[in-house]
Amino acid sequence: MFLEGPLDVAAYLDRIGLKPAAMGAPDLATLSALHLAHASHIPFENIDVLLGRQIRLDVPSLEAKLVRDRRGGYCFEQNTLFAAALEAMGFAVTGLAARVRVGSAQILPRTHMLLRVDLEVEPWIADVGFGRFGLLQPIPLLADVETTQWSWQFRLRKNAQSWVLQARQSEGWEDQYEFTLEPQQPVDYDPPNHFCATHPQSRFLRVLTVQLPTPEARKMVRNRDFTIRSAAGETTRPIGEDELLPLLEREFGLFFPPGTKLPVPSAAQ
């Protein structure tokens, strides 16, 4: 469904730090290895949105940006590329859509993309493109099964017509997003992608966000603040005017030519 043409699987695996010889059959072990490697190597970021560039979701464009140019992207870019790579390796993948719930009491539009991956025994939820407290590895599509992924815990809650991904925080379980199992076609993501990239109410136009989760820590740039969260706690410090580009290179592997001016909002909204 997502893979409409050739994909350089070897180049993709190199981008996420894996070797083709290490990949096995399309099973849970391979899916978990791919998920962790992708999530921890390709940053979640919205820099092109702030630069006013078109966000393209065709696989050749995503391969050029995220693989060859070693950039990151947001959910539609990340999970479309991941879905294409999984399909190229023999996995059965279905696209899903979600309403983000974290940080809002309102009912928001379905502006998040995630994946269902059907293995022989049971279906799993995969998502390498959610900021904040996104998954490092897939989780089974089962209600109320708590999954520990290093220092973070997740679970799915089942409502009458939908599912909710939750992440455990110090004060309890926090809703991340709500989704249904209605299959989405690649074309279904074009309207929400356009909204996220261009609508004045889109948060991606108002907040610079760069994030990268690893088993050890979650690193995040939010406008002029740099945060590291780990099992030991959370630290945040301001980013100086001349420090942003070196920090993006050092902490996230994102390279921009010297003198590049990123349109960073003055304060998070």
Give the tens place of pLDDT for each residue, 151-208: 999 999 999 999 999 999 988 999 999 999 999 999 999 999 999 999 998 999 999 9
Say whether pLDDT at 266 is over 70: no
Say which of 14, 127, 144, 242 is annotated catalytic.
127
Say which of 38, 48, 75, 196 is annotated catalytic.
75
How far is it, in rounded angstroms, from Cα 265 to Cα 173?
30
Give the CB-side neighbour count of residue 196, counting CA atoms within 13 A. Answer: 26
Task: Work out the pLDDT band at 2, boundaries 50, 70, 90.
Answer: confident
Cβ proximity of 83 and 138 under 8 Å: no
Is 38 a residue of the active site?
A: no
Say which of 27, 112, 144, 242 is annotated catalytic.
112
Q: What is the pLDDT of residue 269?
A: 46
Q: The pTM is what?
A: 0.96
Cβ proximity of 138 and 117 under 8 Å: yes
Q: What is the pLDDT of residue 108?
A: 87
**H/E stretch holding 38:** helix 28-41
- The lowest-confidence range among 63-67, 107-111, 184-188, 265-269 is 265-269
Is 196 a residue of the active site?
A: no
Is 75 a residue of the active site?
A: yes
